Amino acid sequence: MLPKTLTLPSIKHTMIPNKRKIINDPIYGFVTLPDDLVYDLINHPSFQRLRRIKQLGLTNLVYPGALHTRFHHAIGAMYLMTEALQVLKSKGIKITDEETRGAIIAILLHDIGHGPFSHALEHTIVKGVHHEDISLLLMDDLNKTFKGKLSLAIKIFKDQHPKKFLHQLVSSQLDMDRLDYLNRDSFFTGVSEGVVSSDRIIKMLTVVNGEIVVEAKGIYSVEKFLIARRLMYWQVYLHKTVLSAEKLLVNILKRAKELSLAGIDIFATPALSLFLKNNFSKKDFMSKPELLQQFTLLDDYDIMASVKVWANHSDTVLSLLCKNMLDRHLFKIELQNKKFSADYKAQWQEKVMKKYKLTKKEADYFVFSESVNNSAYNSGIHHKINILFNNNVLVDVAKASDQLNIKMLSKKVTKYFMCYPKGI
C-alpha cells in the first residue's frame, strides 16, 4: 500500500493581465511569458520541482559552475520555441494561436518527468521507465487539472499532430531542447566549445513538405552545432570524471535499494523510501495515480540528505561509498577504445576485497567496467537535418557539408571505461 501523498494544490486558470511576467535569463536576457496558461503551469508544484533538480547532475564536481537546473533549461527552451514559431510565421508558414500555445507548452513540459540528478539515476530509482514516459503521464495529469487545455500540447509532444514540424521543434536532431542545453551548459561549465549560434539557426529554419529544414545559408551554423555537440559530450557529458561521479552515485542507490529490499532499516525520506523498497514498472505508474504524485516529491535534496546519513550506516559498502561521494574521493577511471580484459578487472577486485574485507559481490560496487557511446548526428533515422538549396532540393547535412568531419560525426563512437578506488 502506498503512503499518503501530499495534496498538490490545483491552480485555477483565470485571465489576469499581471500573469505576463518577465524572467531575466542569463543566456537570453529578458524572457516574457507568452501566455496566462504558461504562467500557471510554471507556478504549478510539479514544474517548480524542477528548480530542485540540477540540469547536469554531478558535473559540478568537475565544473563548479554547473549548478543550473532543469527549471532554467525549460524556460530557455520555451523562449527559443517562441522565437522559432515567430520566424516560421514570418515566412508564411500557417501556425494558429492554439498551435503556438501547444508547441510552447510541449517544450516547456518536455523534461517535467526527470528524476533526481537527471539522467544519472534514471534507471536506478525506477527501472525501465524513461523520463519521457513520466513527463507524458504528468502532462496528462496536468491536463485534467487545467480542464483539457493541454490536449493539443500532448498531441504535439507525442507526434500525433498533423503538422509534424511542431513536434520536430520539440524533439529531433535540431530541436529547441538541444539548442538551449548546448548554450546553457556551455555557459555554466565555462566550456566555450559548446557555444552555438542558436539565433542564426532559428532564423534559417523553414518548413518543406510539412517538416523542418534549414535554408542553405545556415549550413555553417548547423555544422558548428554538430561539432559543438560532439565536443560537449566528450568534454562535459561524458567527461571521465563526471562518469566516475555519476557511477558512484548510481552504486550508492543500488546498494541502498539492495539493503531496503532485504528488509534492512535505512534512512530515507518517505518518497525515496517507497522507491527503494519497491520495484515499480511503467504499468504501475499508469495504474496508480498516487505513485506519480510520490515521484513528484523526489528531487536532488532527497538523495543528498540520505547520502549524508548513509555515510554513517553500519553497512560497510554503503558507508564507504557515501563517504567517498561527500568527500569527492571519486573512483579512478580508465578510458580506452577496447574492452577491458576479465583478468585486469579481477586483479583490481582482489585488491579491493583484500583491503576492505569484502566479498566478490560487494567488490563489484567498487570495481566495474562499462561503455559509453557518442553520436553527434545520425543520418540514418527519421527527422534528419535537411538543407534547403535554392533549386528547392533537400540534402542531408552530412552529404551537403563540405566538411569531412561532419560525415565522421554520423558514426557512433564507443569507448570503454573501468572504475576502481584510488590508492589501492
Find cell 503512503 and name the residue: 3
Query: Do residues 181 and 195 make contact, with C-beta atoms less than 8 angstroms apart?
Result: no
Q: Strand, helix or coil at 208?
A: strand
Instruction: List the one residue out of 205, 199, 204, 321 whose CA is nearest residue 256.
Output: 321
- Provide the residue ranges of all domains of the chain, joining segments of one domain with +: 17-231
Q: What CATH number does the domain located at 17-231 have?
A: 1.10.3210.10
- Looking at residue 193, what is its pLDDT? 92
Contact 254, 304 (CB under 8 A): no
Cell of 50: 524542477
- DSSP 8-class letter at 221: H
The set of residues, in sequence order, having a beta carbon less than 8 Å from that of 107 and lying 6+ positions away, is 74, 77, 78, 80, 81, 169, 170, 176, 177
Q: What is the pTM of this model?
A: 0.92
CB-CB contact of 138 with 46 (8 Å): yes
Contact 159, 191 (CB under 8 A): no
pLDDT of residue 8: 44
Report the C-alpha dihedral over residues 336, 183, 175, 250, rounded to 10 degrees.
Answer: 50
**Residue 321 CA to chain centroid, in angstroms?**
25
List residues bridging with 419 in a β-sheet: 333, 368
Is residue 164 within 8 Å of 213, Cβ to Cβ? no
The side-by-side arrangement of strands in the sheet containing 386-388 is: 205-208, 211-215, 386-388, 394-396
How confident is the chain (424 residues) per 10-residue block, as mean pLDDT? 48 55 96 94 97 96 97 98 98 97 98 87 79 94 97 98 97 96 98 95 97 95 92 94 96 96 95 93 89 95 97 97 97 96 96 95 96 82 84 88 66 92 90
Specify the pLDDT at position 12.
47
Give the Cα separation of 107 and 139 in Å (integer).
11
Q: Are 50 and 110 contacting, i.e. CB atoms less than 8 angstroms apart?
A: no
Q: Are 165 and 210 in contact (CB under 8 A)?
A: yes
Q: Pairing relation of β-strands 413-420 and 386-388?
A: unpaired
CB 193 within 8 A of CB 183: no
The Cα-based distances of 45 to 49, 75, 153, 397 in angstroms read 6, 15, 19, 41
Residue 172 amino acid letter: S
Closest C-alpha among 241, 201, 243 to residue 218:
201
Q: Exposure of 14 by Cβ count < 10 A (0-12 exposed, 13-18 middle, 19+ buried)?
A: exposed
